[in-house]
Amino acid sequence: MVDRDWLILQLLHEYKNITRTAETLYISQPALTRRLRQIEEEFGITIVQRGHRGVQFTPEGEYLAKRARQMLGELREIKEHLQDMEQQVAGSLRLGVSNFITRYKLPRLLKLFRDRYPEVEFKVVTGWSSEVFNLVYNQEVHVGFVRGDYSWSDNKHLLFEETICIASKNEINLANLPDQPRIDYQTDYHLKALVDNWWAENYTRPPQIGMEVDKVETCKEMVVHGLGYGIVPSLLLEGVPDLFKVNLTDREGNPLLRRTWMLYYDESLELKLVKTFVDFVKNLDLQNNQ
């Protein structure tokens, strides 16, 4: 078994598909199948069985796939510690970043860090904050940037907070809001719950959803063009002129806040690269891009 064999097993177990696994590894399907048979012969077992529903792992194959993830993780840890033994800050930094941060904050952040530490490489995984949280929890990334207040018992740092607001091209009358068309969008559970709870506290009727879109950025564009109102985090509207905005507040008049956090394990700070990056981010003002 070589390192690539463990990667073959991990990816095949994840995809359950020979074609997709081969494409990911940039090898031909016959070459992948041949190597899989060689691994089976080496251990004297059957790893997978093919059926109408794709590749099915045998109990022995399941065990090897589980060990593949462990073996690759150990190898990655060895490489990282060897890189960390060098005096200069170098190596590969694995980041999990929410979609919003990726679009509006991450490019500038990585450029500033790369300008100071040019030997660093970045591996960035983006997605919903809930997905990023799981990446950090499972130690698949060194550092995660999430939006929303997740239950996290290890190290975290508040990057910034913003208000949640109603935005509209037309003047906003809160009393008439249930009768106005709302632009709704897909978002993570924390923000949806925050908005839904606010609505339930203030109205007895459900909102009139005039349009449903996939992303908050699309919602913003629809609002800018006067197609309805949206309830969005305020940072999304920076630099957008001629919009009416009303910040949401609770019953005591306190603004509803959306917080963005940097999450990481304390043990990961033993790596010079991770500690340098975490300290660097803590000294930046990401909310105001300073």
Examine domains 3-72 and 162-257 and report if their fold is the same.
Answer: no
pLDDT of 168 higher than 90 = yes
Dump pLDDT digits (tens) for 218-233: 999 999 999 999 999 9
Contact 194, 164 (CB under 8 A): yes
Mean pLDDT, residues 129-156 taken together:
94
The domain limits of the chain are: 3-72, 83-161+259-282, 162-257
Q: Let me know if domain 3-72 sits in CATH 3.30.450.90.
A: no
Q: Say what the alpha-carbon torsion angle 130, 197, 237, 108 is, to the nearest 10 degrees.
A: -20
Q: What φ, ψ does residue 140 adopt, rounded to 5°?
A: -85, -15
Q: Domain 162-257 belongs to what topology?
A: D-Maltodextrin-Binding Protein; domain 2 (3.40.190)
Report the percentage of the chain scoring pLDDT > 70.
Answer: 96
Structure-model confidence comparison of residues 81 and 87, the more confident one: 81
Q: Is the model's pTM score more than 0.85?
A: no
* pLDDT of res. 5: 86
Q: Let me know if domain 83-161+259-282 sits in CATH 3.40.190.10.
A: yes
Cα distance from N-terminal residue to C-terminal residue, the chain = 49
Least confident of 61-65, 75-79, 124-128: 75-79
* pLDDT of res. 84: 62
**Which residue(s) pair with 159 in the sheet?**
none
Q: What φ, ψ does residue 101 adopt, rounded to 5°?
A: -65, -40
